[in-house]
A and B are shown apart, each in its own frame.
Chain A
Amino acid sequence: MLNEKKDLAIDCCLLAGRLMIESGAETYRVEDTMTRMAISQGLIGTQSFITPTGIMFSLGRDGSTRLMAIRHRVTDLEKVALVNQVSRKLTTNELTIEEAYEELQKVASANLMFPFFLQIIAAAIASGSFLILFEGSWWDVPAATIAGGIGFVVATFIHDITRVKFFAEFLAAAFVGIVAFLAILLNLGADLNIIIISGVMPLVPGLLITNAVRDLMAGHFTSGVSKGAEALLTAFAIGAGVALVLSF
């Protein structure tokens, strides 16, 4: 009986941790949340080791150690907020462990993303606005808007088909380059470089770079280095995609 309850508590902690990492939460927050949830269930002295590709969670001397692999990562802030809410309620005893596990499973299977066309519009508008913030001329705004929107669409579609993130980013950057090049050719834009930079802004791994440095500063070297490698590969894919177009 006691063991069953312990198992459920571990499952709950691991599921919460997995959801948070998959949605892009910071490493130390995942660790903190898992420890708090464990303590609220009477599991003292738990240890967790968290990397972007997997979680290890141990009860210490008199319990089992579990492992959870993490295969894909996106940025989904709403899920981070929901998991945080569940863990808050669990620690203040508003929810029992069974109810919390059910809630977490609901969060795991739910699709809470904004509709896809809204995301495309957001990416397009962001690209157009970035062009002005980068001190481009208003004449180039339509080209950057279209390039950003098309880049985002291509990145999402190719990623859905091939499941290879870097290939999708490579093709998306190439499309951004083609759109910018066509805009210059048709005399609808003036500065090729600034249109391309604004167009690839929704794709660049700025967040990953910053998170990587932050994890390194906090002493989470495994997470920091692997996030840094991911960011480097993404930046390389984007640079190569643009260069492919420019070399013709």
Chain B
Amino acid sequence: MTWIIQAFLSLIIAISFAIIFNAPRKKLLACGVVGMSGWMIYSGYSILTGDSVQASFAGAFVVALAAHILSKRFKMPMILFSVPGIILLVPGGLAYNAMRNVVENDYLTAISFASRAFMTSGAIAMGLVFAEVLMQLIFKYLRKKETTSHNA
């Protein structure tokens, strides 16, 4: 039951951010689905291993894969689908906690929050880049295969 609620809420959040970021109107649902898949992978992975940094990597990887597939399908830039989807994974709470501790003069806690936020955002960026490289390799392979079959 909690899984259904989580899936539904992550869909709603991704669509809401798509509205705030003014994504094209007809693609709102697609943005929502990308965000939902990313969040479900993230929360499933973090329950399995208990490591939120690895889970962020997995979630961002899935978001980027989904965004890539949709961008090829609709012939639109990938950023349209990845931005509302990635927001769910982004360590906003950690960044906020870090800054709150800084302004409250608790620097040690702040540093630990800040380094976790930095690690998480690094993992997200790596997930995005890895997925992009993987998709480029796949598309290159498919194109090569197509041209050789044409020649034969």
Contacts and interface: CB of A to CB of B under 8 A. Distances in A.
A243 to B, nearest CB: 4
Interface residues of B, number: 47
A114 B96 contact: no
B135 to A, nearest CB: 15
Nearest to A83: B77
A44 to B, nearest CB: 24
A231 B91 CA distance: 12
A246 B124 CA distance: 31
Contacts of A230: none
B76 A238 contact: no
Interface string B7-33: 001101101111111111000000000
Contacts of B76: 81, 84
Interface in B69-125: 75-77, 79-80, 83, 86-88, 90-93, 95-100, 102-104, 117, 121-122, 124-125
Nearest to A126: B16
Nearest to B39: A133
Contacts of A242: 96, 100
B126 A217 contact: yes
- Among A25, A79, A126, A242, the most chain B Cβ lie within 10 Å of the Cβ of A126
A235 B80 contact: no
Interface residues of A, number: 54
Contact of A81 (B15, B24, B88, B102): B24
Contacts of A129: 9-10, 12-13, 16
Given A77-B80, A88-B75, A129-B12, A122 B103 contact: no
B126 A201 contact: no
A25 B79 CA distance: 7
A150 interface: no
Q: Which 5 A-B pairs have the closest CB atoms?
A: A239-B99, A206-B90, A204-B92, A122-B16, A213-B125
